[in-house]
C-alpha cells in the first residue's frame, strides 16, 4: 500500500494531476502544475505544465478495482492546432493519470509512490470532442478539447458482454481459447432428463 507523506506546516494540500496519453506513435504529457516537470520514474520526457487550462473530471476511487470513466478538458488550445488533433488517432489511446503532492515550498514530494506520483487512473480514450469558444481576455477564439476515458476494467467488461457460446465468438479475441470446443458436439445431442438410463444388455 502506498503511504502519502504527511503534509506539515500548512493546512493546504498542494497537488497536481499528471496525464500521459500514448496513441502508439506519439506520447502526449500534460500536468496541472504551472511549469514543466520531469518525473524520471514515470517518463524521461517532461510533462507540459498547463496549469488551470486543464481540468480532470472525478474518477471513482474504491479499495478494489472499479469499472469507471472520467473526463479531461483542455481549454485555451490554439485553433491552429485543432486540425492537428483531428488528424491524429486520439480515440483508443492508452491514458494514465497520477496525482503528485507538493510541500510548503512547492517542491514535489518524491518519497512515496512512483517518483512521488500516485496513479489513480489507467484506461483508454473512448471519445473526444472539439469546440471553439470566444475568449474576451485574449480577444480571439480558443479551442476546447474534451476527452472521455474508460478504465481498463470497464473495457474488459464490455468486451465480454454479448459473446456467444461457440468457438468463433470466443476465439475472436483469443485464437488459442479451447473452452467452447465441445459445444458443437453437445448441440447435436438430446438428453432424456428425468428418465431411467436404458438397461445394458
pLDDT computed for residue 1 by the predictor? 45
Pick from 31-35, 56-60, 106-110, 162-166 the range whose average pLDDT is largest: 31-35
Give me the pLDDT at residue 18, please.
92
Q: Which range has the worst mean pLDDT, 12-21, 71-80, 122-131?
A: 71-80
Mean pLDDT, rounded, for 129-141: 78
Q: Calculate mean pLDDT across residues 27-44.
A: 87
Summarised one tens digit per residue, pLDDT across range 78-94 is 666 676 667 777 888 88
Give the model's pLDDT for residue 157.
Answer: 58
Q: Which residues is 99 bridged to in the sheet?
A: 17, 118
Residue 49 scores a pLDDT above 50 = yes
> Over the stretch 169-188, which tens digit does the pLDDT of each residue have?
777 777 888 888 777 777 77
**Domain residue spans of the chain:** 14-160
Amino acid at each position: 500500500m502506498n503511504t502519502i507523506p504527511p503534509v506539515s506546516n500548512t493546512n493546504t494540500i498542494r497537488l497536481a494531476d499528471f496525464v500521459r496519453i500514448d496513441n502508439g506513435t506519439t506520447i502526449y504529457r500534460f500536468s496541472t502544475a504551472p511549469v514543466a516537470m520531469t518525473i524520471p520514474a514515470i517518463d524521461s520526457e517532461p510533462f507540459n505544465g498547463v496549469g488551470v487550462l486543464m481540468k480532470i473530471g472525478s474518477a471513482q476511487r474504491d479499495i478494489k478495482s472499479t469499472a469507471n470513466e472520467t473526463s479531461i478538458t483542455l481549454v485555451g488550445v490554439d485553433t491552429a492546432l485543432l486540425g492537428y488533433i483531428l488528424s491524429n488517432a486520439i480515440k483508443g489511446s492508452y491514458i494514465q493519470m497520477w496525482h503528485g503532492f507538493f510541500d510548503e515550498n512547492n517542491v514535489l514530494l518524491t518519497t512515496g509512490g512512483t517518483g512521488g506520483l500516485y496513479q489513480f487512473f489507467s484506461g483508454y480514450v473512448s471519445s473526444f470532442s472539439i469546440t471553439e469558444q470566444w475568449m474576451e481576455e485574449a480577444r480571439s477564439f480558443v479551442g476546447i478539447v474534451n476527452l472521455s476515458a474508460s478504465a481498463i476494467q470497464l473495457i474488459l467488461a464490455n468486451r465480454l458482454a454479448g459473446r456467444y457460446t461457440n468457438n468463433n465468438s470466443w476465439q475472436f479475441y483469443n485464437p488459442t481459447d479451447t473452452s467452447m470446443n465441445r459445444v458443437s458436439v453437445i448441440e447435436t445431442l438430446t438428453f432424456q432428463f428425468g428418465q431411467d438410463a436404458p438397461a445394458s444388455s
